[in-house]
Structure 1
Amino acid sequence: MDMTNIFFLLLSICLANVDALMFHLSPNQKKCLKEEIHKDVLVTGNYELSDGPGQKTNLAVTDSKGHILYSKEDARKGKFAFTTEEYDMFEVCFESKMVAGGQGADREVTLDMKHGVEAKSYDDLAKAEKLKPLEVELRRLEDLSKSIVDDFAYMRAREEEMRDTNESTHSRVMYFSLFSMLCLLGLATWQVLYLRRYFKAKKLIE
């Protein structure tokens, strides 16, 4: 197997579907899921909650600044989608509340959240542009390659930013150390001169 086949095999593995996340939500409890996502990335989510008589579960999708990107009261089943405007930490929260006559059983929550290449609907794209299956797969691989390149570019930018920060911190520490040494030398010199004058005044030394 040559390197080209290995590359396409790895890309196909990366494109494989990921099982949805499933967890239990107790009455009067709030559970949140957080994820860091890059700028200008499409994010989609499918959610479904099991029946909970007498319970009301609210769903909210927010960013780190508290902006509400999606909200749903008494969420049961649905979808949401948004495009990120900047690199940020996004939070999906489910909050369960009891109502009068409610039962205290846990609700099962299923959340399937995708972003980037995984979130795009290539079936709709194929129908709109009348693409063949091979062309659709090539388009998918092209988008995935671009996503990987963007990730590397972001990591490189972060590395340069961290390096600049380290160099700036190093310079500040060096200048502060030199300043501290000069202060100590000045203080020591002043102390010697002061003690010498003091001992001369007391005629302890000539």
Structure 2
Amino acid sequence: MPRPYTQAASTLWILSLLVFSAFVSAHMIEVPASKKECFFEDLHINDKMTVTYQVGGGGHLDIDFWLTDPDGHALAKHLKQSTGSISITAKKDGRHEYCFSNQMSSVVDKIVSFNVHGVIYVDDDDTVAPIEREIRALAQGLTAVKDEQEYIVIRERRHRNTAESTNSRVKWWSVLQAIVLFFVVAWQVYYLKSFFEVKRAF
């Protein structure tokens, strides 16, 4: 027999979804040269977690990333990537660790922005009201939009830095060309003047 749907039950479920069923966090870190930064989340079986990251500055804008289960087995690994996204469903209870490594670089630090979001597993059955399923789908869609917005912001910052760097180089190259041109013109005037100069014999 289907569970009766009431407004109070819907409100209670929405609050529990917002408070207990999802976790979202956003961070920006600096990973020093030849170092790595690691983080963890304690998950239970069937909990879902997604990690998205973007390198916003430093060197070739690349980073190594991996995610391991409580037994240390690699669930995902990216090498020298500027951006990436990993989604997992926990197969066992325990601490799941993810790391950003800049060990490939011995000089340049890296700036990494990353988001971690997930859903705590709640046993579901056919008695769940359609509105509840829609709310879950909407929550996942909002998380995806948030990730995309942050990705666009970081890309815009990177492109702006590239454009400013290019403009600075063009400016100083133009100044250098003007200085060289001035000296060439001055040398030509001096040379032509000395060429046509009539020397007097005493």
Task: Give me the TM-score of the superposition, normalised by structure 1.
Answer: 0.49
RCO higher in structure (CA 8 A, sep ≥6): 2
Task: Give me the TM-score of the superposition, normalised by structure 2.
Answer: 0.49
Greater per-residue helix proportion: 1
